[in-house]
Every structure is written in structure tokens, then in C-alpha cells.
Amino acid sequence: MQCVICKNEVSEGISVLNETICVACEESITHSHVEDKQYQELVDRIKELWFRQLRLEKEYVL
């Protein structure tokens, strides 16, 4: 599996919208603060995940 956030190959993680988030990225997400340097990058990656899912759902409906 590949982590949708860091793109590393991982053997375990959480599944979100049929994608995998590794344990390290999950911890980064849950412990990050708005003022952290990596915060915006994490937000952008999560947005990409949601937008990709919305596009798939839209294609399925059409």
C-alpha cells in the first residue's frame, strides 16, 4: 500500500475514502497545529483526497 500523504510504501495504516494513511502521517495530522510548517501541506493532501473522491462519485452518478 502507498500512503496518500507521504507517498511511502507501508504495510499498515488507516483507510480513509479507500486510501491509506500511514501511522506516521496519522500522528502528524492529529498532532499538528495551524502554525506548524507542515500544516498547510497536510491540509492540501487531505483536500486532494476528498476532491478525488468527489470526482469519482460524480463520474459514477453520470
How many separate domains does the chain show?
1
Is 10 in contact with 20 (CB distance < 8 Å)? yes
Flag whether 35 is in a domain: yes
Flag whether 48 is in a domain: yes
| Per-residue confidence (pLDDT) for residue 62, from 0 to 100 | 55
Question: Can you tell me the distance from the alpha carbon of 4 to that of 8, in angstroms, rounded to the nearest whole number?
Answer: 8
| Domain carrying residue 17 | 13-61
Flag whether 6 is in a domain: no
Per residue of the chain (62 residues), what is the pLDDT tens digit? 999 999 999 999 999 988 999 999 999 999 999 999 999 999 999 999 999 888 877 776 65
